[in-house]
Amino acid sequence: MDFFDRFAIPHPSLAIYASMVAIVLTVIAIVVGLTYFKKWGYLWREWLTTVDHKRIGIMYLISALLMLFRGGVDALMMRAQLAVPENTLLDAQHYNEVFTTHGVVMILFMAMPFIMALMNFVVPLQIGARDVAFPRLNALSFWLFFFGAMLFNISFVVGGSPDAGWTSYFPLAGNEFSTSVGTNYYMIAIQIAGIGTLMTGINFITTILKMRAPGMTLMKMPMFTWSSLIANVIIVFAFPVLTVALAMGTLDRLFGTHFFTTNNGGMDMLWANLFWVWGHPEVYILILPAFGIYSEVISTFARRNLYGYKSMVASMVIISLLSFLVWVHHFFTMGQGALTNSIFSITTMAIAVPTGVKIFNWLFTLYKGKIEITTPMLYALLFIPLFTIGGVTGVMLGMSAADYQYHNTMFLVAHFHMVIIPGVVFAMLAGLTYYWPKMFGFMLNERIGKITAWTIGISTLVAFMPMFFTGLDGQARRMYTYSESTGFGPLNMVSFVGAIGLAIGFILLVYNVYYSIRYASRDISADPWDARTLEWATHSPVPEYNFAIVPHVKSEEALWDAKKKRHILFQGNYEKIHMPNNSGVPFIMGSIFFIWGFALVFSLWPLAIIATIGILACMAHRSMEIDHGRYISVKEIEETETKLRGAK
Amino acid sequence: MKIDHSLPLEYSTEENRLKILGFWIFLGAEIMLFGTLFASYFTLVDRIGSGPSGKEIFEITPVLIETIVLLTSSFTIGLGVHAMRIGRKKAMMSFFVITLLLGLVFLGVEIFEFIHYVHIGAGLQTSAFTAILLSTLGTHGLHVTFGLFWGLFILLQVKKRGLTPETANKSFIFSLYWHFLDVVWIFIFSFVYLKGMM
Ligand code: HEM
Ligand SMILES: [Cu+2]
């Protein structure tokens, strides 16, 4: 029995047992469903082995939405627990686990893949490319993310969830204070997903630098592509820091080293520093592509070219540099001198300047524009004021002396939710609605979409504004309850109502998908929003090869100028197109990584060694393999093109 | 696939050029990885707890052997790439074999060095200093180990398939990797060993 004991949950509860049952039932349902409808082959051929950036994008999207619901359930549990004083819905231990997994899931397994989804789907189309530079590597990135996320997600039913916060500060996260395997999951699952992200970074930088359509100079790239380029540069420079930090954390936990311990020379603050050297750039990895989406949406629906293109690019470059110089603002209170704190206060406030420049550029784009309020535009318009609240409170937090008052209170929690939700989540929902027709060939219902946007917008305010006040009054974050006499009760109840509102908003989103699948017209044009950039110049849904003829670009807004100034995008005849072959190796390698991670979490050394050999074998196989891809013949292209044009 | 004959074989196709650029970006990430390790090393170097300090455990002989061997291997792989450029498959393969053998010697000495450290009570768990020392060296050593296998696989392919755009490309990228490991070693040699022994 000893062997199996380690897989038991240290703090079981009814909810966890119920989830176990639910998980088993869901898995059975999926397996039975696939078998019954004979879809295994389809799943394998069309999805699990695909190297097509569009399909990979869609798989990221599905994963992100699933994780949004997982993280959302965590959030509801927390808000329910805090809704009234001295509540006993969750005990301290469960509350710790829930806020930890909520943070990790939302940032790393929801926001990141959401961005990867849009980047994968949109960037190659926007630059007129046939795929990314390394399609196979792209598939591997996805599967590493996916299996990393899965590994993290089984923690609560096998062995116990991490409970030291998404920041996982040592010594709390060390063996002494975090005795369950939970924090092992944290260290290893994030490591696996992080390696995937790093490879995406390399892939997309190469793609954007080298695979743009003829005529598209760097300064003619659409803004979303620019923002992705910068975000990926940050990825390549920030993620290795996380890799090292996690590896050290793993060594501390599994092999008893003394990197972050409090004895034998270990230094707990080293973790905090490394974590935030990655962590702050990470928030800009999230926000920059979101800004890119807003730029696209705002110029499309204001029917104007983006105001201040050059300053937009310049501000992103400055942000990317500054983002590496502010990390100490996350622990002003943890013992640096006044001089250090002052320096990092100044760099922190400086970063608000380029951010402000961007806000003004959007405002100037809107000014005198012929604004059309569609769902994506509504998200963008809600974003500007709400995000400003988050940004301004960020500057308040950035003043180190004042931060002693705000740090680790609900004020901080309110700040980062007010930047991440309006900044990142709204952008993703805007991008989802905006690109939906390109992905699936029909539009989401506009009426339900707008109701959803308003519900989510208002609920965000209701849920998070009260926290600014309770935070200033001293309500600490990560506390599972508070006494009646603090007076925090009513405002926390308001937050709970807001959280329910958010939940309703996301349910409406799902309903919209369902409704539109059933009722939306499939008879839409390739360019239903009357947009400005290249991705709208090919069919919806996009054929495998993206563009039958590689477009020639003459201006920033290639499609708009093709429509208005009669620039000719596609000239010449069809030629056979070279495409990469599908491959099962990325998926298999991802699965082996999952086993490898699981083995490490539980210190199952023989299994870990076998899995390591498996991973190396996959690499060796890849090295020896000869694969020249395949060609799509002119005849096939002609057939596809006539079919797609007919369907329009 | 379009082959541009005005360029060296390893750059001759679009795919090859993409791969080389991608690998340079990867090396950028590797610089950050080792940079983080070095930063951590300098932070922890004096935190020896009750264990030994660098001065007490470093010995110049094995380190010098490692350095000479690795520097030479960087030179021989350079010769190998040169031979590849002028189309001399045999010469290229011989230089690559020498490179890998030198790498093997390096690794052997390093393993010997590690065993020695553990013997004199400077194991992974002794102190923050020994942990970061062995992790930094170990990360480099693992890279070399990985490189040995990778290089071997490339050699097999060159042997079997000759110098094609693909094999040339792989060999060239491998040489970048190998040079990079050499550069990292120079930093280790100077800032870990020499500085530590002073
Ligand atoms: C206007 C620019 C911004 C400034 C000046 C700023 C400033 C700060 C400061 C000083 C803190 C630490 C406060 C404390 O711990 O006491 C903080 C925390 C945080 N910020 Fe921001 N911020 C800005 C924008 C953003 C953006 C755009 C995001 C995300 C997309 C973001 C996400 C976060 C997160 C997640 C935390 C909390 C992490 C934690 O402790 O769990 N911030 N911010
Ligand atoms: Cu920050």
In a domain, A474, yes or no: no
Number of Cβ within 10 Å of residue A519's Cβ equals: 9
Query: Which residue shows structure tokens 């005529």?
Result: A215
Written as six digits, the tokens of A468 are 């600014």
Q: How many residues does chain A have?
A: 648
* Total number of domains constituting chain A: 1
pLDDT single digits (tens) B112-143 = 999 999 999 999 999 999 999 999 999 999 99
Residue B35 tokens, joined: 């940079």
Domain count of the fold of chain B: 1
Is residue A169 in some structural domain?
Answer: yes
Q: In a mutational test of the pocket of ligand 1, which residue from A293, A326, A415, A417 has the highest number of ligand atoms less than 8 Å from its CB?
A: A415
Quote the DSSP letter at residue A158.
T
The pLDDT of residue B96: 97
The number of the ligand 1 atom at minimal distance from the alpha carbon of A391 is: 1
DSSP state, residue A630: E
Longest dimension (CA), chain B: 63
pTM above 0.90, yes or no: yes
Phi and psi (nearest 5°) for A247? -65, -40
* Tens-digit pLDDT profile for residues A21-36: 888 888 888 889 888 8
Identify whether the C-beta of residue A502 lies closer than 8 Å to the C-beta of residue A459: yes
Q: What type of residue sits at position A199? A: M
Task: Specify if B2 maps to a domain.
Answer: no
- Residue A524 belongs to a domain: no
CATH of the domain at A279: 1.20.210.10
Residues with CB under 6 A from ligand 1: A 167, 283, 286-287, 329-330, 348, 351-352, 355, 391, 394-395, 397-398, 403, 406-407, 412, 415-416, 419-420, 423-424
As a whole number of angstroms, the distance between CA A345 and CA A325 comes to 10
**Residue contact B49–A628, C-beta within 8 A:** no
- Give tens-digit pLDDT for A559-605: 998 888 888 889 888 999 999 999 999 999 999 999 999 999 999 99
CB burial class (10 A; 0-12, 13-18, 19+) of residue A639? exposed
The answer to whether residue A354 is domain-embedded is no
Percent of chain A clearing pLDDT 90 (strictly above): 84
Examine the pLDDT at A1 and tell me if it is beyond 60: no
Residues of A in contact with B149 (CB under 8 A): 616, 620
Whether residue A35 lies inside any domain: the answer is: yes
Which residue out of A315, A320, A419 has the highest number of ligand 1 atoms within 8 Å of its CB and is therefore the one to mutate?
A419
Q: At A494, which amino acid appears? A: V
| Percentage of residues in chain B having pLDDT higher than 70 | 99
Q: Which atom of ligand 1 is nearest to the CA of A420?
A: 30
Nearest CA, atom 26, ligand 1: A419
Residues spanned by the domain of B56: 9-197
The closest of A225, A243, A64 to A132, measured between CA atoms, is: A225
Q: What is the pLDDT of residues A447-504, one digit of tens each?
A: 999 999 999 999 999 999 999 999 999 999 999 999 999 999 999 999 999 999 999 9
The answer, for B29 touching chain A at a CB cutoff of 8 Å, is: yes
The ligand minimizing its distance to the Cα of A166 is 1
A436-460 exposure pattern, b = at least 16 Cβ within 10 A, e = fewer: bbbbbbbbbbeebbbbbbebbbebb
Pairwise CB contact (< 8 Å): B25 & A206: yes
Structure tokens at A78: 């927390």
Residue at token pair 């995000």: A387
- Please give the Cα distance from B67 to A631 (Å, whole number): 49
**DSSP H helical segments within A155-267, as ranges?**
182-210, 223-255
What is d(CA A174, CA A158) in angstroms, rounded to the nearest whole number? 20
Give dist(CA A142, CA A59) in Å, integer.
8
Does ipTM exceed 0.85? yes
Instruction: Select from A236, A251, A623 the Cβ nearest to the Cβ of B131.
Output: A251
* Domain extent at residue A10: 1-295
Is position B134 within any domain?
yes
A617 within a domain of the structure (yes/no):
no
Inside any domain, residue A53: yes
Do the chains contact at B29 and A258, CB–CB below 8 Å? Answer: no
Euclidean distance between CA atoms B23 and B177, whole angstroms? 9
Nearest CA of chain B to the CA of A237: how many Å? 6
Q: Does B1 reside within a domain?
A: no
Residue A115 belongs to some domain of the structure: yes
Assess contact for A275 and A170: CB atoms under 8 A: no
User: Residue B29 is part of a domain; what is its CATH number?
Assistant: 1.20.120.80
